[in-house]
Every structure is written in structure tokens, then in C-alpha cells.
Amino acid sequence: MNGLAHWHHINFAPWFGKETSVKKVLRAVDKDNKFSRPPRGPVSITHMRAIRDSLDLASPRGAAFWALACAAFWGCRRLGELTLATKTFDPKHDASRSAPISRSTRAGREVLSIHLPWTKTTGCAGGTLILTATNDDLCPIRAFDNHTAVNHSPEHETPLFAFRDDSPRAPGPWLPVVKTAFLSFISSIFRAANLEQVFGHSFRIGGRLDIYLFPHILAEVGVRHPCGTFSGLGHKQEGFFVRGTG
């Protein structure tokens, strides 16, 4: 700022450095203080299996929750892109069961692509949730197909991972998965299993790390995954690479 003020002085230009708005900006910029939010640990395979073991995949809620967890992890998506912020559905922001879905097979592996109307990075330009079969107990396509089979016959503009009310009465209203409620649910699972707590972004981080540790899936199917690169991750990763080295 001193250099900028000096330039104005020697060029006889008006200097507004003492204006209130400038002072507020200077107070907001503090290079000596680090970002105060705690590091966000990734969701690991251990986290995923803890979720699976805690769910009844034959129940409407269990099927939906498991499909959501797999989609966020293997699809490298933020929870906010797959869940609702409130119980009110917004077609401009929230993915629905009526979204365009395409299936293909590459190198013997099934690939499922689902349109998302909104993402954090593209806004209303939307994006694509890409799921590639892993052919194991954590397979995202098996989880999604189970979800759509259990939670069949969705109504118009039913949220993508909404589930039927599984009360004893006749098929009830569709219940959306709200981000905060889902995080609260899995947090209780992780506490009971003595696992590190996570945030909504942790599924994307964990899926990204796992895919790069085992890139043969992407190499086989030739899919450019929306996970980005390792550069600039800036998140807590220590201890995560045990699976890849052991």
C-alpha cells in the first residue's frame, strides 16, 4: 500500500487510501492469519464400509442413503450437489429422478452418467455425475440400481436420492435427503466406529484420492473423471495412503 500511495504522490494523482471502504478491505486482508477452518479429512474405504454395515439396503431409506454415499464418493461430488439444503425441492438446483441418465459399457465396465442442474464450480450451468462400476460391495452402480428398484415409481420432480416413507401405512410421501440430516446420520456412525469425522466435501476428497491410487478403472474405460488433480487439494490426507501401499 505504501508503494501504491507513493506512485499516486509522484504522479500528482488523488489518493483515496484513507477512505472507509479501503480501510475495511485492508482489515479483511490479513496474510499472517491462516484459514481458521479445520482440515477436512477424506472419507475412506473404512468410512464407506461403516456406512454400509449400518444400513438395511432393502429399506427405502437405507437404499437411498447408500446410493447417495457411493455417488458422492465414486462420483467425486460434494454432498451439496446431490442433496437438498432444505426439504423444499428446487428444480434449478436439485437433481431429480427425471434427470437425463445414460448408460454405456467401456472395457467391460458399466458407466452411468446423470445430469446435475447445479454444481459448486459451474453454478446453474450444471454438470454430470459419472459413476463407473467397481464390481464389488462398494459398487456405485449396484447401489444406484438398488435405490431405484426399492424406491420405484417416483412422482414428478422427486429428488434424485429421495426415498419413500417406510412406515407401515400405504406408500407415503417421498422424503428428500437433506444435507445436514445426512451428515448428522453418518457422523453418529463414525463416532461409534471411532473414525475421523468428515464434512460434506470429504466424499469428493476421498473418492478423488482412491481413484488416483487405483487409476486402472479410469484407464480401462477411458473416462475423464470430474475429480480434478492432486494439485491444490489443501486438505488433510495423512494416513490415507495405507490402502495403496499395504
pTM as predicted: 0.75
DSSP state of 21: H
How confident is residue 106, by pLDDT bands cut at 50, 70 and 90?
A: confident
More confident residue, 210 or 174: 174
Non-local (6+) Cβ contacts of 228 within 8 A are 76, 208
Which amino acid appears at position 58 of this protein?
A
For range 31-57, the mean pLDDT? 82
- Tens of pLDDT, residue by residue over 211-232, are 665 555 555 444 444 455 443 4
CA dihedral 140, 143, 149, 151 (to 10 degrees): -110
Tell me how far apart the alpha carbons of residues 82 and 116 are, in angstroms, rounded to a whole number: 8
Tell me how far apart the alpha carbons of residues 96 and 113 are, in angstroms, rounded to a whole number: 13
The CA-atom distances, in angstroms, between 100 and each of 11, 18, 90, 142, 218 are 60, 55, 17, 18, 22
Whether the Cβ atoms of residue 129 and residue 113 lie closer than 8 Å to each other: yes
DSSP state of 196: -
For range 125-153, the mean pLDDT? 96
**Domain regions of the chain by residue span:** 1-33, 45-245
Of 69, 79, 64, 78, the closest CA to residue 48 belongs to 69
| 7-16, 64-73, 186-195, 228-237: the lowest-pLDDT one | 228-237
Q: Can you name the CATH fold of 45-245?
A: hpI Integrase; Chain A (1.10.443)
For range 87-99, the mean pLDDT? 95
For range 122-133, the mean pLDDT? 94
Residue 129 above 80 pLDDT? Answer: yes
* pLDDT score, position 10: 54
Tell me how far apart the alpha carbons of residues 163 and 148 are, in angstroms, rounded to a whole number: 9
